[in-house]
Amino acid sequence: MDANVVVMGSESVGKSALTVRLLTRRFIGEYGDIESIYSHNFETDGRDITLNIWDIYEDLSVETSLSEKKIQWADGFILVYSICDRASFNIVSKLIQTIKSTKDYLNTDKVPIVIVGNKRDLHHRRTVSSEEGRLLALKADCLFYEVSAAENYHSVLMVFHGLVDRIKDTKLAL
C-alpha cells in the first residue's frame, strides 16, 4: 500500500524533528527551512507500506497560504502542536476544520488525522494540558498522542503507525 501523509502545524512545533526521527531514528536538533517529500517504507501486520511524507514549511498564521493542493494530495494528516505553545494548539483546531471542509469524502468524519502534542520533555513549560489534547481529538474523531521527538523514538513511531492504521481503514471502506 502507498499512502501520502502531510505533517502540518505552526512554525517550530517540531514537524521536521518528528519526520527526521521517523526516517533516521535520530534527533538532530536543527532542521532549517527545507520543505521536502520523503519516502519511507515500513511493515505493519505483515504488509509493506510506503509512506510519502510531506514535511511542510510555511507560515500557517497566514490563512491564504493553507494550500488546498496539499490537502487533496494527502491520504492522512499529522497535525502537530507544542505542549508549550497554546497558539500552536489553536491552529490545530483550525486545521482540522479546514481539512474536513476541503476533503471531499462522502463521510468527512473518516479523514485520517492524528493530533500530536510534541515536546513532552519540556513538561515544566507546559501550557496545554493532556486533557485538552485528548478532548479535541475525541470531538473531531482523531487519534491523539503526546510525544517527544527529542527524547522518544518509540512515541514517534506510534504516531505514524496509528495514522497508517486509520488510512488502511478508510481505504478499505471506500
How far apart are CB 43 and ligand GDP at their closest, in Å?
26
Q: Which residues bind ligand GDP (CB under 6 A)?
A: 9, 11-17, 29-31, 118-119, 121-122, 148-150
Residue 54: strand, helix, or coil: strand
Helix/strand/coil for 112: coil
Contact indicator for 159, 116 with CB cutoff of 8 Å: yes
Q: What cell was used for 120?
A: 513532552
Q: Closer CB to ligand GDP, residue 12 or residue 44?
A: 12
Helix 130-140 to helix 86-102 angle, to the nearest 10 degrees? Answer: 10
Q: Which does 14 bind (CB under 5 to 8 A by kind): Mg ion, ligand GDP, none?
A: ligand GDP
Taking the least distance from each CB to ligand GDP, the nearer of 7 and 49 is 7
13-32 mask for Mg ion (x: CB under 5 A)?
Answer: --xx----------------
Of Mg ion, ligand GDP, none, which one does residue 121 interact with (CB within 5 to 8 Å by kind)? Answer: ligand GDP
Region binding Mg ion by CB under 5 A among candidate stretches 8-16, 76-84, 116-124, 127-135:
8-16
d(C-alpha 129, C-alpha 2), whole Å: 34
Residue 115 contacts which entry, Mg ion, ligand GDP, none (Cβ below 5-8 A, type-dependent): none
**Smallest gap from residue 89 Cβ to ligand GDP (A):** 14
Q: What is the chain's percent helix, strand, coil content, to nearest 5?
A: 45, 25, 30
Query: Which one, 49 or 80, has the nearer CB to ligand GDP?
Result: 80
Beta strands in the chain (DSSP E): 2-9, 36-44, 47-55, 76-82, 113-118, 143-146
- Please tell me whether residue 123 adopts helix, strand or coil conformation: helix
- Provide the binding-site residues for Mg ion, judged by CB under 5 A: 15-16, 57
